[in-house]
Chains A and B, each alone.
Chain A
Amino acid sequence: MSAPATLIRRIALQGRYETMGMLRNGEQLLIAIVLPLLALIGLTVTPLLDTYTDDRIAMAAPGVLALCTVSTALTGQGIATGFDRRYGVLRFLSTTPLGQSGLILGKIIAVLAIMVIQVVVVGGTALLFLGWQPALGGLLPAAAQLVLGAAAFTSLGLLIAGTVRPEATLAITNLLWVLLAAAGGILFPVASWPDVFEPAAHLLPSTALGDALRSALIDAQFNLTASIVLLVWTVVASLAAIRWFKWS
């Protein structure tokens, strides 16, 4: 009688498959690696950050790591899932022993795997070539908050991918990436926002992740408020995705 491979093996296989799929896709690489690297270099060699800091790389690196999270979890996974849904891949794989839960877990593994690569590439570039000296005491909190940010943005990406057409997912997630990068508190602190809007800006998941990483990697502090904001976004977006995600 036919039997499934073990759960661990199925999820690991799907994780590897999704990771390779993202790494082989030129647009995905562009938004996951190339654009964040350009942002890192741009913020270091131009005076854009000088209004906030006199140590450009110290403020640029955490922001770019936050941007990497949005690239992979929201834009990358959102687009990949949207088109897989269009072509019936989600339906097909959910009839195999992998199942719907295995599919989701595989995606989470893929997001984390890509983020490890991003941290190595972006962090390595900052450390080796741009003179970055992160606060060592903040490394663990930063890692935890990157994972939390990944959870929040993956939930949002899947929510979008599971509810609108893939072309719309493509447009929305790319647009969000640009807007959040430019003004969503990721690369630049929201201190630059008009005073009326600033409290609202702190409720954005992008601001929360950017602030959390800056607190950790600049001041070695655990930003509790930002973590709570991310947690709430994760819970709400996950519940919404579970409620409204359409598999076909």
Chain B
Amino acid sequence: MKDLGPVEALDNKMVRVIDGVHLRAYPGQVTALLGPNGAGKTTTLACAQGLMPPNGGTVRLLGENPYQAGAALRSRVGVMLQEGGLPQAIRPLALLQHVAGMYQNPRSVDELAERLGIQGFANTPIRRLSGGEKQRVALAAALVGDPEVLFLDEPSAGLDPQSRAVVFDLIQELRAEGLGIILTTHLMDDAQRLADYVFIIDAGRTVVHGTVAELTAATDESAGVERMLTFDAPPGLSLDLPKPFTAVENVPGRYTVAGQLTPGVLAALAAEWAAHNVMPASIHMAPRSLEDVFLDISGKDLR
């Protein structure tokens, strides 16, 4: 592993699950576990949270074994489960106040509720809330104890765009306050926007890890940013591009050109379109994304 951040944090905050999954998370950072559904993200978190013992290997949370750890350790860790883990009959504020009572110095329930927009449905029983509303209550419940470590299992699931922005802002603010945040997501976009460090998990193993910049950077250190250009045009075109570029037709009528694209390459591509008398129906260009990284690693034929 490389560039794991401040050394003094090493024994302070280390989550390490061995059984194909190796990972560490640090204070003041958002660590993302990224992978498709069923990759083993939630199980990894369950081991890290102490909800289940690993079959082998070591897990350390704030330097302790989290499985059946004492209340002192649990009070320093906030957990938001994938399905929320909320009782259904109670109202959001009553639940948050109940959970707050488990801590000596909880965060203010009113402030949290205000911040996450819970006041608007404070008097509706949890079972009648929408998925996004439940998600915000679950996040508040994870935060009410003022934790040092925060586990978020799929925090953006079910959120509408506005709630998502509110939740993402809060996560970034908490990171700035120094919380160590570990989140799972199957959305590349979430990881790209939030994470300082990403572990890509597939089929129960960490397959690659690094900062978003490292993962999406060109493999050649000296090179510039890799980009991917996608365009839609009639199928079956044979385009002659300067080496080493090629237009790959992944599905009939959809072509991609990837690599360190330059204006010269784009000009050559446009010239080829002109030569074939083709006007693409759409053109899209973006830096290499985590999604591309994931596809590269997990094998395009699999997904």
- Please report A residues at the B interface, Cβ cutoff 8 Å: 1-5, 7, 9-10, 13, 17, 21, 24-25, 83-84, 87-89, 91-100, 102, 247-248
Contact = CB atoms under 8 A, between A and B. Distances in A.
26 contacts: A2-B75, A2-B104, A2-B146, A2-B148, A3-B105, A4-B104, A10-B102, A13-B98, A13-B102, A21-B89, A87-B83, A87-B88, A88-B83, A89-B87, A92-B79, A92-B85, A92-B138, A93-B85, A95-B81, A96-B74, A97-B71, A97-B72, A97-B75, A97-B102, A99-B70, A102-B71
Contacts of A89: 85-87
B84 interface: yes
A123 B51 CA distance: 43
Contacts of B89: 21, 24-25
A98 B77 CA distance: 12
A100 B50 CA distance: 11
B273 interface: no
Contact of A88 (B71, B84, B146, B148): B84
A97 B23 CA distance: 25
Contacts of A5: 101-104
Nearest to A12: B101
A102 B68 CA distance: 12
Nearest to B51: A91
Contacts of B75: 2-4, 96-97
A89 B86 CA distance: 5
Nearest to A102: B71
B36 to A, nearest CB: 21
Contact of B86 (A4, A10, A92, A96): A92
A92 B142 CA distance: 9
* Nearest 9 interchain pairs by C-beta: A92-B85, A88-B85, A95-B79, A4-B71, A4-B75, A97-B71, A3-B104, A97-B75, A97-B102
Given A3-B105, A5-B102, A87 B79 contact: no
Interface string B91-132: 000000011011111000000000000000000000000000
Contact of A95 (B49, B83, B105): B49
B151 to A, nearest CB: 8
B147 interface: yes
A1 B178 CA distance: 12
Given A98-B71, A102-B71, 15 more contacts: A4-B74, A4-B102, A84-B87, A87-B83, A87-B86, A87-B87, A91-B51, A96-B102, A97-B74, A97-B102, A98-B102, A99-B71, A99-B74, A247-B51, A248-B51
A contact patch SS: helix
A89 B90 CA distance: 12
A10 B87 contact: no
Contacts of B99: 96
Contacts of A102: 71
B180 interface: no
Contacts of B87: 21, 84, 87, 89
Nearest to A88: B85
B145 A91 contact: no
B76 interface: yes
A13 B104 CA distance: 13
B141 interface: yes
Contacts of B74: 4, 95-97, 99
A59 to B, nearest CB: 37
A100 B104 CA distance: 19
A38 to B, nearest CB: 25
Contacts of B76: 1-2
Contacts of B84: 87-88, 92
A21 B89 CA distance: 8
Nearest to A83: B88
Contacts of A9: 101
Contacts of A24: 89
A95 B66 CA distance: 10
B101 A95 contact: no
Contacts of B146: 2
A13 B72 CA distance: 17
Nearest to A248: B51
B152 to A, nearest CB: 12
A7 B87 CA distance: 22
Nearest to B107: A2
Contacts of B102: 4-5, 10, 13, 96-98
Given A2-B145, A3-B72, A95 B51 contact: yes
A3, A5, A88, A96: most-surrounded residue (chain B CB, <10 A): A96
A3 B98 contact: no
Contact of A17 (B81, B88, B98): B98
A2 B103 contact: yes
Nearest to B104: A3
